[in-house]
Structure 1
Amino acid sequence: MTNSSATWFITGTSSGFGRALTEQLLARGDRVAATLRKLNALDDLKAQYGDRLWIATLDVTDTAAVRGVVDRAFAELGRIDVVVNNAGYGLVGAGEEVSDDQIRHQIDTNLIGSIQVIRAALPHLRAQGGGRILQLSSAGGQIAFPALGLYHASKWGIEGFVEAVAQEVAPFNIALTLVEPGATQTDFGSSLVAAPPTPAYDATPAGEIRRAFAANMFPVVGDASKMAQAMIDCAARSPAPRRLALGSDTYTMVRAALVERLAALDAQKDIALATDAGA
């Protein structure tokens, strides 16, 4: 995909990366099929760009609605070059603190919602001879902080799904990229959902993380506009990278985690080899 009149399908466009992508793509002449839960959030862009902005309301936890909206977007717009799975949010709370309903909604939104968007798009992408999918993950898809266990579960989970599906659909000229931003100047922090605190965790790492979020103490170095441009540029790269790390914090933290993980694996090499049948 190298032309300047491509068509994109993006979830979660009312704010954050979704909004930034939509603005930049429309400004450069592309068409955007934008989904969001608050229909009027893009009224200003609709007034400016008219038919180049296609809008539909969508809650990605509603699988039937996901399929209906994706099918309608392809039917009405024809070819869609890039699908961006962006809708999601964060849940703060120790594993013991979060409620059953909070667990379900976090997984339904970030993991199952993303899976179902991909599943809905694949038949259309196959039929048109290929396309790109950008899946918003996070630095938190490769590392983990206390009090964010369910968020990490959703991101580590979607990374595994994308790793497998990317191999399945490569013969159809469909490529998937996991986008891994770090802390960014978006409204992610204000959209966080917090579990009721349990006093037992006040003096633990989970309590420290909770207080840091509440006090807005996390350093935010990422520029959402620059990251959106990097995603747009990535969609034109061939071959498509499996991962796109965005932000110096992502690079530093993920690299350290991978080096540590590899060292721990190498330290267990003798055990691993000794447990083969017949070893």
Structure 2
Amino acid sequence: MSTRTWFITGASSGFGRAMTERLLERGDRVAATARKPERLSDLAGKHGDRLWTAALDVTDTATLRAVVEKAFADHGRIDVIVSNAGYGTYGAAEEFTDEAIEAQIATNLLAPVQLTRAVLPHLRAQGGGRIVQLSSAGGQAVFPGGNLYHATKWGIEGFFESVILEVAPFGIGITLVEPGVARTEFGHSLDVAPALDAYADTPVGQMRQYIEAPAGITANGPGDPDRIADAILASVDVSPAPRRLTLGSDAYQSVHAALTGRIEELEASKDLAFSTDFADSPATEWAS
């Protein structure tokens, strides 16, 4: 396996940190960005100039573009872009403030879109590359109270489903990663909306009790962050790029149930769907 250069957002914790550590240990180069890059100082001391760091709030589009430009200028070529930065929110739709809504969308949806737009000219110019986007099992399946988080993850999946088709002719592969609940800091960083009494005895209120328990939602999750990081890194050696990686038994079960349910609903509406065509309408198919 040849040495690669990687660009990773949100590299100071969770999956981003686990991937950065592994890549450096095996001899790759990493351009690692984080809100607090000083949290990577221990790795810098150990691995020297194979670790390049930059402070980055991914919601600051101008700075994001500048950091991307500098990373490519300093490294010449970057083989893999890992869009990992993000966080979760929890609450009933009417419990959120406008600011919380805008912040979640800015971080989980708009930032990956802008990162992709910033790196694509470089990947095209160098003749290809790989983009790995951290999504979630919540990009396919839902739970009550996850509405904002799901909106961003379903949105990013739709964005990349289309971009995959756009950039394939340039040798650029894209993989969406859909982990389930893993034992990372994610649960403790959830932005939980102030509760409305009206939801106390609803599924939202019941889930809130679980989320706000001292152990947090991720403490007993089935997902092993190290194994998930290993699976993500290994996917880059697969050609063509897998469109999705569903990681974790809980992720598989929830996504399988969601997709099966949607297929059943679609089949149940087939006759109605066809009945709304013009009688002389030719058969057409969406690109896939």
- Output the amino acid matched with 1:165: V
In 2, the alpha carbon distance for the partners of 1:237 and 1:200 equals: 49
Deviation at 1:277, TM superposition (A): 1.6
Q: Who is 2:242 aligned against?
A: 241
Q: Is the 8 A contact 2:187 2:217 kept in 1?
A: no
Q: How far did residue 39 of structure 1 move?
A: 2.2
Query: How far apart in 1 are the matches of 2:221 and 2:70?
Result: 38
TM-score, scaled to structure 2: 0.95
3-state SS, counterpart of residue 34 of structure 1:
strand
1:252 Cα deviation after fit: 0.9
Distance (whole Å) between structure 2 residues aligned to residue 93 and residue 195 of structure 1: 5
Match of 1:124 among 122, 130, 136: 122
**Equivalent residue of 1:161, what SS?**
helix
Counterpart CA distance in 2 for 1:145 and 1:66 is 32
Correspondence for 2:102: 104
* Equivalent of residue 11 in structure 2, options 10, 13, 27: 13
Root-mean-square deviation over aligned CA pairs: 0.9
Corresponding residue of 2:178: 180
Match of 2:275 in 1: 274
CA drift at 1:217: 5.6
Give percent identity, aligned residues only: 59
In the superposition, relative to structure 1, how do residues 217 and 173 fare at CA in structure 2: closer, same or farther (>3 Å)? closer
Structure 1 residues 136 and 242, CA, compared in 2 at 3 Å: closer, same or farther? Answer: same
Partner of 2:257: 256
One-letter amino acid matched to 1:105: A
Cα separation, 2, equivalents of 1:246 and 1:177: 13
Q: Which amino acid aligns with 2:82?
A: V
Q: After TM superposition, give the deviation of residue 278 of structure 1 in Å.
A: 2.2
- Which of the numbers 135, 144, 148 marks the counterpart of 2:142? 144
One-letter amino acid of the structure 2 residue matched with residue 229 of structure 1: D
Do residues 45 (structure 1) and 43 (structure 2) align? yes
CA distance in 1 between partners of 2:184 and 2:245 (Å): 18
Pairing partner for 1:29 from 18, 21, 27:
27
The reply to whether residue 81 of structure 1 matches residue 79 of structure 2 is: yes
Q: Contact 2:33/2:54 (CA < 8 Å) preserved in 1?
A: yes
Give the SS at the match of 2:54: strand
Distance in 2 separating the partners of 1:19 and 1:70? 19
- C-alpha displacement at 1:211, in angstroms? 1.1
207-216 or 47-56, larger mean C-alpha shift: 207-216
- The separation in 2 between residues aligned to 1:162 and 1:201, in whole angstroms, is 34
Give the partner amino acid of 1:245: T
Q: Does 1:201 align with 2:203?
A: no
- Contiguous gaps of at least 5 residues in structure 2: 281-288
Matches within 5 A, 1:152-171: 152-171=150-169
The runs of 5 or more residues in structure 1 that have no matched partner are: none
- CA offsets per residue over residues 171-198 of structure 1, 9 Å max, x none? 0000100000000011000110111111
Please state whether the residue corresponding to 1:203 is helix, strand or coil: coil
